A and B are shown apart, each in its own frame.
Chain A
Amino acid sequence: MTPLLQVEGLEVGYETGGGVFRRGGAGVRAVAGVDLALNAGEVLALVGESGCGKTTVARALVGLLRPSAGRIRFAGRDVEALGRDDRLAWRRAVQMVFQDPFDSLNPRKTALATLAQPLRIHRIVPRAELRREAARLLDRVGLSPGAAYLNRYPHQFSGGQRQRICIARAIAVRPQVIVADEPVSALDVSIRAQILTLFQELSRDLGLATIFITHDLTVVRSLSDRVAVMYLGRIVEEGPTDAVFALPRHPYTAALLAASPIPDPVLARRLLRRPLGGDVPSPADPPGGCAFHPRCAHAAAICGTQRPVPQPQPGGGMSACHFAADAPQWARPHDRILEEVS
């Protein structure tokens, strides 16, 4: 089966060091060679800490940034080679939801105007139907009756309601893929659950494939089918979510799992926690070999000299670690620890 959306060797660079006082300067490779595949109807979580390049990948996927190398294929076709009409079809099929619902809605536009624009551009419904379609979309995202919200401006909505409008805008053009960049990070726990439920319903009812970018591993665990973990511009581990959480096969994934607080005081006090030391290195000057080796408790000499190539793993995933095969010895799989102590 051809994946719906496929990324091969994606690289995206930013110019740095330029500006008013200096010209030129070294570039930063925010994304340094990423391979990803998203199948129809699948939820893929992309996780990593700030600066790992996950947002840059998202922006390249929807065409907001131009890759400096690599290929993005939609339904098997290279998006760079698409003609004008096919390009518009791709842009329509892949829609984005941003993190901050306060920044991503035009404060001068009513909900109706916000939703009518994409409907008009992509000629989804006849002009006379715009109002009814916009109301239907608001109903779909849980703002009902939708007609009652059409003439409101963003400031008249709460944060959670705004994010619902952003989601309505994304699904307005009947896309096949939603790329959601930290869509619940700005929201409170109880509101977050409502929006996550909405994402779950959309992927189930509309068959939408989703790339869900987050730094929150608890969300990954409950929402996604597959997970890809990024570190310094590269994917270090990828695989079925349950398999990765049961036995991470990259030390960085294991460290992320171990660092996440456990909302259970009895277990938390029995688990030995060794926080990962150090800071994420600058992507302008990444360490040689495996980019994670300076912080890795299991690093050996080879890790400083040779960059590990992603290798298929038992369980259907892949890991870019020289010692992935020894994972059962060094990984601290959360599930297993929890079983032992409980």
Chain B
Amino acid sequence: MTALLSVEGLTTHLHTDVGVVRAVDDVSLAVAPGEAVALVGESGCGKSMTALSMMRLAPPAARIEAGRVMFKGRDLLGLSARQMRRVRGGEMGMVFQDPMTFLNPLIRIGDQVEEAISLHMPERGRAAALLTLEALRRVRIADPEQVMGYYPHQLSGGMRQRVLIAIAIACRPSLLICDEPTTALDVTIQAQIMDLLRGLRAELGSAILLITHDLGLVAEYCDRVYVMYAGRVVEEASVFDVFARPRHPYTRALLRSTLRLDRRADGFRTIAGQPPNLVHPPPGCRFHPRCPEAFARCRTDEPDLYGSVGARARCLLHAPEAA
């Protein structure tokens, strides 16, 4: 199987007043055509910065220090800004958390969707308008002719997110990168949007990279999972494995602190301590100061990803010599 997207050793540093933040540190991940992959972690773990670096949208303070982002056989990090603009919004669609930040409040919905289409497709005029209508219909917006004439403020949060998805899928991308697409939405609207994304994946055959902190969404909608902690991937596994047999102590702790609807928790499980400072990350395993299973070597030896591709964890408990 050839990967659609394959990120290899991606390393992004943020140059700030307090020093160099190692936001993304040697991250590798792959997405196959049509696959739904989750990148999970808590705020500050580097999951969004990984996605932004991949799309070459990281803020000016960020510098990509190393790595390759192979997408359909090309390294995106080697493309010119102009070539990159053709990829983004074309073969690679993007959906972000807050649609208001990405929609222009002064431009009608129809014009914003059409702009995305005319940047990537030959259609103009009436033909482009028809594609716009089709994109809005595809995201199940009722009465798309009318909505085309609306400004963003006239739409609800859920409708704005549909518009953003319409823009993202207008050019039938082979990969849809969704960064916390439903975090700002209510739970019934979240269900509608996730259902829509699942439907679009089936209809268009697009792969989805879902960046989220919500393990419930991961369980329901994804095939494979990468767990990030303190700038690094600490575990990769199939969705069934990660919930049934989490390998990394951080993944286990995260799952234990996840609450469920179907039973009353007998106490709220917490992970002791705070995520580390990424200017001066702890030596050895970055999770060792909070890890209930840490032993002497965890404080000194940096763990590798142990296991086979698609089923491995960055933890010395899984190092071959420990077995």
Contact = CB atoms under 8 A, between A and B. Distances in A.
Interface in B171-206: 186-192, 194-195
Contacts of B239: 265
Contacts of A265: 219-220, 239-240, 243
Contact of A158 (B158, B216, B258, B274): B274
B251 to A, nearest CB: 12
B258 A256 contact: no
A196 B195 contact: no
B156 interface: yes
Contacts of B215: 263
B187 A196 contact: no
B269 to A, nearest CB: 6
B130 interface: no
Contact of B187 (A221, A260, A262, A273): A260
Contact of A200 (B259, B260, B268): B268
Contacts of B219: 261-265, 268
A327 interface: no
Contacts of B243: 263-266
Interface in A190-219: 190, 192-194, 196-197, 200, 215-219
A264 to B, nearest CB: 6
B264 A222 contact: yes
Given A221-B263, A268-B219, A259 B188 contact: yes
A281 B156 CA distance: 10
B100 interface: no
Given A194-B270, A262-B216, A218 B260 contact: yes
B128 interface: no
A49 B188 contact: yes
A276 interface: yes
Contacts of A90: none
Contacts of A85: none
B261 A215 contact: no
Interface string B148-170: 00000000111100000000000
B319 interface: no
Contact of B213 (A189, A273, A279): A189
Nearest to B159: A279
Contacts of B269: 193
B66 interface: no
Contacts of A242: 264
B300 interface: no
A276 B191 CA distance: 8
A221 B261 contact: yes
A242 B262 CA distance: 10
Contact of B195 (A193, A215, A273): A273
B125 interface: no
A200 B268 CA distance: 9
B255 interface: yes
Interface in A43-59: 49-50
Interface string A249-262: 00000011111111
Contacts of B157: 50
A189 B264 contact: no
B271 interface: yes
Contact of A197 (B158, B261, B270, B274): B270
Interface string B234-276: 0000011001100000000111011111111101111100100
A77 interface: no
B305 interface: no
Contacts of A216: 259
A196 B258 CA distance: 12
Contacts of A279: 156, 158-159, 189
Interface of B: 42-43, 156-159, 186-192, 194-195, 213-220, 239-240, 243-244, 253-255, 257-265, 267-271, 274
20 contacts: A190-B254, A193-B268, A193-B271, A200-B268, A215-B187, A221-B259, A256-B188, A257-B261, A259-B191, A261-B191, A261-B220, A263-B215, A263-B260, A266-B244, A268-B220, A273-B195, A275-B188, A275-B191, A334-B262, A338-B262
Given A200-B267, A217-B261, A221-B264, 16 more contacts: A49-B186, A189-B42, A190-B257, A197-B268, A218-B259, A222-B259, A257-B261, A259-B188, A260-B187, A263-B260, A264-B219, A266-B240, A273-B191, A273-B195, A279-B156, A279-B189
Closest 10 CB pairs of A and B: A261-B216, A218-B259, A49-B186, A259-B191, A275-B191, A190-B271, A193-B268, A222-B265, A193-B270, A268-B220
